[in-house]
Amino acid sequence: MKRIVVVGASAAGLAAAETLRREGYDGTLTLVGDEPHPPYDRPPLSKQVLAAEWPPERTWLRTPDELAALGVELSLGVAASGLDMTDRTVRLADGTAVPYDGLIVATGVRPRRLPGAPAHVLRGLDDALALRDRIGPGRHLVVVGAGFLGSEAAAAAWQLGARVTLLEPAPVPLAHAVGERVGRVLARAHTERGVDLRTGVTVSEVTGAGVRLADGQEIAADAVLVAIGSLPNTEWLADSGLTVADGVVCDAYCAAAPDVYAAGDVARWYHPLFEAPMRVEHRTNAAEQGMAAARNLLGGAARTPFAPVPYFWSDQYGTRIQAYGLLRGHDEVAVVEGDPADGRFLAAYRTGDRLRGVLAVGMPPKAIRPWRQAVASGAAWRESAA
């Protein structure tokens, strides 16, 4: 293998490129990214960057010297537009074609949008900076979607002194993921600080002056942030021959086709631990999967399945939320430590007869860390929640 192309220059793509070099690959290595910025970290965008605590440069994952030391051909500011697996070339939007012997797809996701006038989204560095310029004392921000991203942005805007209205179609924010009891605790963090949280409301469109709800009511705002989920960036793979269904479909090794692997938010792979295909949009997973895809691309018969225990965290109003495992689709939630009434607790999640996930709010890392192994081992629920 003399030429490897990594499409996607964020956490997964960079991790893949660095792993290829660490594993001894010394051939041509091209890293393609649709943004002009060097690889940067996304989680701080809705927290430290939006709250004006960090300058943009602090999000960079590597310095220019460190990137140069990798010996990669950087192609930034140009998106991939097509893939020809017969000729083994990646077509770029500027008309060039990049040949490959091995390919790693790490093109991530893009935000869903609402009809109507343009609104802010929060995926890239430029998104965060543009929104930051529109919030502050005396400004009113409407956030559509009270998931983790919308909640983090609401908290950052509140911290900057903005008036915040948070709109959520579900009766309890995040109940589908973390359960109603935990969702109510997370919702309380907003209302206790004066954020106008409205649940059970649907936004039909963005107007030039705010948003219009499904019942016709209009809410005026200085800025509107739409945080209603994301879509995997797979359009450029149309007619490529790869299977695309809510992401690039992969096997347990992250392989989508011979010598083609996928990693990060765009990858939908079969997870051996949970015995199901899944796509995970978490920063930690992106880096770990980028490394796994690179090793397996080079590994031949030595390939190993990618079976991590997913991990994510969120910071809201100075409180750290952490979780291991798979929380969605759970059958039962049990608080095993602390008290939700105090805003400091640890909850375990059952699916079937197994412990499948655990979430901690306001707890130190040492409180949740031992649970990771229990999830990894598929521990019996009766033993875990005792």
Residue with tokens 């209603």: 228
Does residue 356 carry a pLDDT above 90?
yes
What pLDDT sits at residue 300?
82
**Using an 8 Å Cβ cutoff, are 305 and 295 in contact?**
no
Please check the confidence at residue 238 and state whether its pLDDT lies above 80: yes
Kindly state the tokens that stand for 18. Answer: 């660095």
Closest to 2 (Cα-Cα) out of 113, 100, 88: 100
In 3D, which of 312, 338, 351 has the Cα closest to residue 181? 338
Give me the mean pLDDT over the 362-374 stretch.
Answer: 93
| pLDDT, tens digit (0-9, with 9 covering 90-100), for 285-324 | 999 999 999 999 999 888 999 999 999 999 999 999 999 9
**Across all residues in the chain, what is the average pLDDT?**
96
Residue 152 has pLDDT above 70, yes or no: yes
Q: Which of 203, 133, 192, 134 is nearest to 168 (CA)?
A: 203
> Which residue type occupies 120?
H
- Which domains are present in the chain? 3-110+230-302 (3.50.50.60), 113-226 (3.50.50.60), 318-384 (3.30.390.30)
Contact in structure between 29 and 17 (CB atoms under 8 Å) = yes
**pLDDT, position 386:** 58
Look-up of token digits 């805007």: 157
What is the pLDDT, as a whole number, of residue 269?
98
What is the average per-residue pLDDT within 181-187?
Answer: 94
pLDDT tens, position by position, 44-93: 999 999 999 999 999 999 999 999 999 999 999 999 999 999 999 999 99
Mean pLDDT, residues 132-138 taken together: 95
The pLDDT value recorded for residue 8 is 98
- Residue 300's region, left for phi above 0, alpha for psi from -120 to 50, else beta, is left
| Alpha-carbon gap, residue 96 to 141, rounded angstroms | 42
- Torsion, Cα 332 336 342 343, to 10 degrees, reads -60
pLDDT at 384 over 80: no
Residue given tokens 């903005």 in the structure block: 162
- Give the predicted TM-score (pTM) of the model: 0.95
254 by Cβ neighbours in 10 Å (0-12 / 13-18 / 19+) ranks as buried
